[in-house]
Amino acid sequence: MTTIEIRRVDPLDEALLRAWWETGHTAFAERPYDVDEPWSVSRVSLRQPNPDLVQVLLGAFDPGGAMVGSASAKMPQRENPHLVYGTVSVPPDHRRRGIGSRLLAAVEDIGRQEGRSVLLVEAAAPLTQESPGTLFGAARGFAVGNLEEVKVLDLVASEPAWDACEQEAHAARGDYRLVTWGTSTPAEHVQGFCDLLGVFFSNVPLGEVPLEDMVWTPERLRAYEDRLCETGFEEFTAAVVAPDGSLVGVSDVGLLPQEPEKAEVGITLVLPEHRGHRLGMAMKLATHRALRAAYPQCRIVVTANAGANAHMNAVNERLGYRVVERLPELKKDL
């Protein structure tokens, strides 16, 4: 059996970091849509100082020095100190050799050394069958903590129906009003946006995934936006203002201008006491229209949300999103 060495990857080593990214990208090439972070983003984001997250990158190397597997351990630093988010990626040509098991063991060791008690890993799978990732997780003691679905919207095909959707949303909206902005939140909405972000996890289906809400301050939000701008990522955001002037909903979609054919939804949230007014649909229409106006060459939007999220699923289905993949969130106690 070939000797495999597991080593940490220094994100400042450009060649090694590129090999790490390419290994993961190759491992997931079989997915129906490329939802991985582009190299142009990863080469920046993986080097950015981030007080909210400590991450360790790992590579599996064969005797010739070639990287044949990659992994990561990401540990939140402010909230959720019990968690470690893991990834394990092995390209098809190198599977069934114990490489994934070695990488997973290294991720688990890092989590334990850092005092983490729960490991979370996503494992994409086709709609009607298991995948190498879900089978690997089940064989190594993971349980399904939550089941998300990856959905895709064909912008060109769906756009003719937007006017009718907008009429429905407008008729139900009442005295609520929409506001929109780009990547940087206007000063007058910063605190309201922070308040919404601070209750996000409490208001979306999490299944058995033990996530605590995060405390968002204006300084934390601005630091996040600065990191986003450094990667070149551009966002289109819509929010809902209630009659009393408070923000009660938010949705965003974003893309990388160098790769404008594909965009992705970040978050969508309407506070429970304000649901039933088609506010989610109104916000998504606003962001999607802004996206199309700025980048008419954009063809698809990708999103993921829990299969149990009935409100969001109804909005997505009405707009024309279709489910293309399952995305189980796997959980393991360390």
pLDDT tens, position by position, 80-97: 999 999 999 999 999 999
pLDDT over 70 at 78, yes or no: yes
Instruction: Provide CATH code, domain 5-116.
Output: 3.40.630.30
What pLDDT does 225 receive? 96
Residue 168 confidence class, pLDDT cut points 50, 70, 90: very high
What pLDDT does 12 receive? 95
Residue 151 confidence class, pLDDT cut points 50, 70, 90: very high
Give the C-alpha separation, 228 to 287, whole Å: 18
pLDDT tens, position by position, 250-278: 999 999 999 999 999 999 999 999 999 99
pLDDT tens, position by position, 102-138: 999 999 999 999 999 999 999 999 999 999 999 999 9
Lowest mean pLDDT of 30-34, 49-53, 177-181, name the range: 30-34
- Choose which CATH entry (3.30.565.10, 3.40.120.10, 1.10.1660.10, 3.40.630.30) describes domain 151-327: 3.40.630.30
Q: Residues 170-175: what's their mean pLDDT?
A: 94
Alpha-carbon torsion (61, 62, 67, 68), positive or negative? negative
What pLDDT does 35 receive? 81
Q: Residues 33-59: what's their mean pLDDT?
A: 91
For the chain, give every residue range classified as CATH 3.40.630.30: 5-116, 151-327
Residue 2 confidence class, pLDDT cut points 50, 70, 90: low
**CB contact at 8 A, 110 and 85:** no
